[in-house]
Amino acid sequence: MLRAAGYRVLEDQAELEVTLRVDGVEHPYRIRVDLLVERRTDGARFAAEVKTGKSAPNPRHSATRRQLLEYRMLYDVEGVLLVDREAQRVHEVEWPDLPPRQPAAPAARRAFVRGVLMGAALGVILTGLLLGAGRCIP
């Protein structure tokens, strides 16, 4: 369903260890989102929660809403998707009152790494050419 909606699955059952501090005492715990996905058109990453049943797929359901908000705040993603498995619908959930997340998009990371590697390769080629040219001069 997500593939048909234009997403590529990056990770299934993506787990994250986080810490909650209460009165100065740290309480580590784990959260697990159903899927981490990437939108094919722009490389934006999303945490996707798959729900079934009558109330859970409803973004107005308080437990679902809190769970989605936790994913939005703690995972390095641009947004959150609520996948209603029974209705075969994918909903992008947003909180307009929160500042937008600006994680490094995978496409931007790949472009940066590609640029660094191309620069290094060009440096090696130019060095080889300059050294080779120096041997040809009498």
Distance between CA atoms of 18 and 53, rounded to whole angstroms?
29
Q: Report the phi/psi class of residue 18: left, alpha or beta, with left for phi > 0 and alpha for psi in -120 to 50.
A: beta
* CATH assignment at residue 96: 3.90.320.10
- 11 and 52 assigned to the same domain: yes
Domain assignment of residue 52, given as a range: 7-102
* Mean predicted lDDT score pLDDT of the chain: 83
Task: Using the predicted structure, report yes or no on whether residue 10 has a pLDDT greater than 80.
Answer: yes
Distance between CA atoms of 61 and 58, rounded to whole angstroms?
5
The residue whose two tokens read 């080889």 is: 128
- The pLDDT confidence band at residue 59, using thresholds 50, 70 and 90, is confident
The pLDDT, as a whole number, for residue 5 is: 93
What percentage of the chain reaches a pLDDT higher than 90? 52
Rg (CA), the chain: 22
- 25 and 61 assigned to the same domain: yes
- 34 and 55 assigned to the same domain: yes
What percentage of the chain reaches a pLDDT higher than 70? 73
Closest to 76 (Cα-Cα) out of 33, 113, 21: 33
